[in-house]
Amino acid sequence: AQTVTQSQPEMSVQEAETVTLSCTYDTSESDYYLFWYKQPPSRQMILVIRQEAYKQQNATENRFSVNFQKAAKSFSLKISDSQLGDAAMYFCAYRSSMNYGGSQGNLIFGKGTKLSVKP
Amino acid sequence: DTGVSQDPRHKITKRGQNVTFRCDPISEHNRLYWYRQTLGQGPEFLTYFQNEAQLEKSRLLSDRFSAERPKGSFSTLEIQRTEQGDSAMYLCASSLAPRDRGGEQYFGPGTRLTVT
């Protein structure tokens, strides 16, 4: 079974600085997707960024980028120029590729990292 | 379409009572997922529908839990004889069936259940 581990329960960053959130995962599959979701306090979860395992290039979305190391099974999120609105719980998630057929696409989440942004 | 909606947002019930939650997915999405999130944890998968068919259930979904998606539109999640351990946030998500490696899930705001 696949597992996702986020080893940093809490992180803090100064406004305008850069912070990196860590995520490792375990799988025997070679084709899958990885995601970072953001869950602000009392608000719904939104997708920040996704990465296809078959792509070597790291995904980037504006101030958010990932460092995907497939061999090491590591998937970290870098937030540049941090803003007060970035304060939230961040969840790393794994999803098997549909091509495997056995999984119907449910996400497997880590326990999350609470990010605080200091003004 | 404004996204995935869930009702109610909060529910307080006494142990032993039955509760029902509703999820309205994004209209063109044919896949619908239910997750449960307890304090300090990430969401855990409960069950999944493609159109009106319930195709997968987690071992977390005990026989006190039942989910439906009539006509492949909204979905309901019912918990019978609630227990204090059922207290959690219940999240609904919807997506398109991935044909070309897509299928991102869009989440609703959740229903927070408190069992006293």
Higher-confidence position of A32 and B90: B90
HSE-up of residue B8 (Cα within 13 Å, Cβ side): 9
The answer to whether the CB atoms of A107 and B105 lie below 8 A apart is yes
Helix boundaries (H) for A1-119: none
Q: Which of A44, A98, A110 sits opposite B109 (nearest CB)?
A: A44
A50 within 8 A of A34, measured Cβ to Cβ? yes
The answer to whether the CB atoms of A44 and B50 lie below 8 A apart is no
Which residue of chain B comes nearest to A99, CA vs CA? B101
Summary count for chain A: helices (H), strands (E): 0, 12
pLDDT computed for residue A9 by the predictor: 96
Q: Spell out where chain B has E strands.
A: 5-7, 10-13, 19-24, 31-37, 44-50, 53-57, 65-68, 75-79, 88-95, 106-107, 111-115
Residue A3: alpha-carbon gap to chain centroid: 13
The answer to whether the CB atoms of A111 and B104 lie below 8 A apart is no
Report d(CA A82, CA B14) in Å as an integer. Answer: 43
- Chain B residues with CB under 8 Å of A104 CB are 48, 50, 55-56
Give the A:B interface size as CB pairs under 8 Å: 60
- Chain B residues with CB under 8 Å of A50 CB are 104
Put simply, whether B41 touches A (Cβ < 8 Å) is: yes
The structure tokens 């590591």 sit at A74
Q: What are phi and psi of B93, to 5 degrees?
A: -140, 150
B40 within 8 A of A111, measured Cβ to Cβ? yes
What are the pLDDT tens digits along chain A (119 aa)?
889 999 999 999 999 999 999 999 999 988 889 999 999 987 889 999 999 998 889 999 999 999 999 999 999 999 999 999 999 999 999 998 765 554 567 899 999 999 999 99
Put simply, whether B108 touches A (Cβ < 8 Å) is: yes
Q: Which of A33, A43, A107 sits opposite B45 (nearest CB)?
A: A107
The structure tokens 């999820």 sit at B23
Structure tokens of B103? 């299928």
Residues 6+ apart with CB under 8 A from B51: B30, B69, B72
Report d(CA A93, CA A111) in Å as an integer. Answer: 10
Reply yes or no on whether the pLDDT at B100 is more than 50.
Answer: no
- Chain A residues with CB under 8 Å of B3 CB are 44
